[in-house]
Amino acid sequence: MPYAITLPLITDSDASFPTAPHRALQGTLYAWLQQGDPDLAGCVHQLPGPKPFTVTPLSRRNGQPCYHFTLLDDALWPPLETALSNGVQVEIVNQRWPVAQDGRQTEHCSYADLVANARTETGLAFRFLSPTSFRSQDMHYPLPDPVMAFQSWLSRWNAFAPQDLRLNVNTLDLVAAHVAIARFRLETRAVTFDRYTQIGFVGTVTYRVIKSRLLGHDLIRRLNILADYAPFCGTGHKTTQGMGQTRRLEPR
C-alpha cells in the first residue's frame, strides 16, 4: 500500500534550507527505519533494484517547513511510525530540524485501489516538481521521453505491487506506439551532489494517447494506473535523494 507522508518541522518559518541536502535526506529516512527495525533497514539498504521509498527536498507548505517522503511497501510504515512517535529530527550538516508531533499528513492508497479506480483518460498531465532525469546508455537523459517515464513507473510497480496485480512489460510497447507528448513547459535545473552536478528537467508535461480508438478501455486504464502511481514512486533516477518528484494533474 503506497504511503505519502508530510511532516511539519519545528524551525523559524524564514530559516533557509541547507544546500545539497540530498544524501542527508535519504540518510534521515534510513536512520528512522533503523530505530524502528534494524534488520529491515539493513535489507532495504542492500536491495539491488529500486528502493521502496522516495524523498522530496525540504519545502514549505503554507509557510511551514516540511519533510515529505513516500513508501511503496507496507512493511516500512510500522517501524517508521514507531520512530516518529518517539520523537525524531531531520539533521543536515549540523542543522537540526525537529519533527512536530502535530500536523502530520498521511495519504495512502492500496495497489488494489489504484487498479480499481483507474480512469480511461487519454490525456495524462504531470508536474515534475524536482529535477528529473533518466539513465540511458550510461548517460543522463534530461528529457520527458514517454517510454522512459512509463518504464520508470512500470519497473517500480512490478517491483512492489502484489504478484497478481503486476502489469505485463508489453505495456511499454503500447506506450511506444500510442503515447506522444502533446504539450510541455519545461526548464532545466541543476542538482548539486557531493562531488558532481546533475541536470534534470522541471515543469509540466501532457502525454496524449493517440489513436485511442484502436485500444480497449483495459489498456488505457493500464496507463492511468501508472499515472496515478507516479506521485508515489517518483520518476527517473535518484528519487531517494530528492530527484524526480512527480504530481499528476488534470489535463486542460
pLDDT, mean of residues 60-69:
83
Asked if residue 98 and residue 160 are part of one domain, the reply reads no
pLDDT, mean of residues 154-161:
96
Asked if residue 245 and residue 146 are part of one domain, the reply reads yes
pLDDT, mean of residues 115-133:
95
Taking 70 as the threshold, does the pLDDT of residue 240 lie above it?
A: yes
Asked if residue 240 and residue 198 are part of one domain, the reply reads yes
* 160-194: pLDDT as tens digits: 999 999 999 999 999 999 999 999 999 999 887 77
- The whole model's pTM is what? 0.91
Domain at 86, CATH number: 3.30.70.1890
Mean pLDDT of the chain: 89
Number of structural domains found in the chain: 2
DSSP SS3 for 206: strand
Asked if residue 148 and residue 100 are part of one domain, the reply reads no
> Domain range for residue 176?
114-249
Asked if residue 100 and residue 124 are part of one domain, the reply reads no
Percent of the chain past pLDDT 90, that is, above it, reads 52
Domain boundary among the residues 49, 73, 108 is at 108
Query: DSSP readout, 179-191?
Result: EEEEEEEEEEEEE
Asked if residue 100 and residue 142 are part of one domain, the reply reads no
Asked if residue 135 and residue 82 are part of one domain, the reply reads no
Asked if residue 83 and residue 203 are part of one domain, the reply reads no
C-alpha distances (whole Å) from 63 to each of 9, 10, 66, 68, 106 are 11, 12, 9, 15, 19
Asked if residue 120 and residue 36 are part of one domain, the reply reads no
Domain boundary among the residues 85, 108, 131 is at 108
Asked if residue 203 and residue 96 are part of one domain, the reply reads no
Asked if residue 234 and residue 120 are part of one domain, the reply reads yes
Domain boundary among the residues 48, 78, 108 is at 108
C-alpha distances (whole Å) from 233 to each of 33, 53, 224, 237, 242 are 18, 7, 14, 11, 12
For residues 228 and 92, the model is more confident at: 228
Taking 60 as the threshold, does the pLDDT of residue 235 lie above it?
A: yes
pLDDT, mean of residues 146-157:
96
Asked if residue 53 and residue 121 are part of one domain, the reply reads no
